[in-house]
């Protein structure tokens, strides 16, 4: 990063970096931010998947593997070099590892934690330093963790997914309490329920363990629940979720975002136990 050669953009024009922008909520968020006229750094493992965004001075499209700390550092440097600062970080990249916990290989479990926990942790750590030391004094910024209702409760067959989300929530709550109020750095943990995206198609289903692979097995019930079209009708629209989140983070300039944001009716129903048992 070259602090003496970075552009000075108006403070009312937000610069956001979003991970996992190739589809789903990340794509909807990126599109909403761009449509509102703000600067956006859109990232995905494959930058070609960002072709839905036009090329232009307000957009930076980057390839980013969130399991690589070096790649995270390079992406943040590129963002600051282009736009001069970072106002909003949205940790959205992820997938679900589903399977009988006894049978999940260690390598798969570690990759789940690297993607859903350590990636956001490293990006958050580095972004806080930029917001404190590189952004205009007191301008601060906002860190948004796209967690899950699965960070507040659990389903069977998702042990490492839930572990990563619970860990991310705890990390974020603790780190937020370390902030000096003068830095003006805020944190928001978003807990969506079901969102009508291709998230289920990006699930990784591990090999089954014979002791659990029965018709009445809890994992089979979970897979049936996720694939049930009637249940999915009640899931939230990603574009609507993106607009709501954009308004909470960027639109309400006069007040800080909440620490937690439940997203969608499904999240509330699941939390009070009126849905999947």
- Which residues are catalytic, by number? 147, 161, 165
63: helix, strand or coil: strand
Contact (CB, 8 A) for 93 and 115: yes
Task: Tell me the two tokens of residue 265.
Answer: 């009716």
Residue 231 makes CB contacts below 8 A (sequence gap 6+) with 194, 225
Q: Indicate left, alpha or beta for 65 from its phi (over 0: left) and psi (-120 to 50: alpha).
A: beta
| Angle, in degrees to the nearest 10, between helices 119-133 and 159-176 | 20
**Residues facing 201 on adjacent strands:** none
Burial class (CB in 10 A: 0-12, 13-18, 19+), 145: buried
| 83: nearest Cα among 174, 159, 138, 17 | 17
- Please answer whether residues 21 and 63 qualify as being in contact, where contact means their C-beta atoms are separated by less than 8 angstroms: no
> Residue 30 and residue 20: Cα distance in Å, rounded?
10
Residue pair 257/188 in contact (Cβ under 8 Å)? The answer is: yes
Q: Which two tokens stand for residue 161?
A: 């997914």
């Amino acid at each position: 990063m070259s602090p003496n050669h970075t552009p000075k953009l108006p403070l009312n024009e937000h610069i956001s970096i979003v991970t996992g922008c190739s589809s789903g909520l990340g794509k909807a968020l990126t599109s909403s931010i761009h449509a509102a006229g703000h600067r956006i750094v859109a990232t995905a493992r494959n930058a070609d998947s960002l072709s839905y965004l036009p090329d232009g001075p307000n957009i930076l499209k980057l390839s980013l593997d969130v399991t690589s700390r070096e790649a995270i550092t390079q992406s943040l440097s590129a963002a600051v070099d282009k736009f001069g600062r970072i106002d909003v970080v949205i940790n959205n990249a992820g997938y679900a590892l589903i399977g009988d916990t006894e049978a999940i290989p260690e390598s798969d479990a570690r990759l789940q934690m690297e993607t859903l926990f350590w990636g956001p942790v490293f990006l958050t750590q580095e972004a806080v330093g930029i917001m404190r030391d590189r952004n205009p004094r007191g301008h601060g910024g906002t860190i948004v963790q796209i967690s899950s209702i699965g960070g507040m409760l659990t389903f069977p067959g998702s042990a490492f997914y839930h572990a990563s989300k619970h860990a991310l929530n705890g990390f974020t709550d603790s780190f937020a309490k370390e902030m000096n109020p003068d830095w003006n750095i805020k944190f928001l943990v978003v807990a969506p329920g079901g969102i009508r995206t291709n998230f289920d198609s990006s699930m990784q289903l591990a090999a089954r363990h014979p002791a659990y692979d029965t018709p009445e097995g809890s994992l089979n019930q979970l897979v049936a629940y996720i694939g049930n079209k009637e249940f999915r009708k009640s899931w939230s629209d990603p574009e609507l979720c993106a607009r709501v989140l954009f308004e909470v983070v960027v639109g309400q300039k006069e007040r800080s975002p909440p620490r937690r944001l439940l997203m969608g009716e499904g999240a509330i129903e699941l939390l009070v136990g009126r849905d999947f048992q």
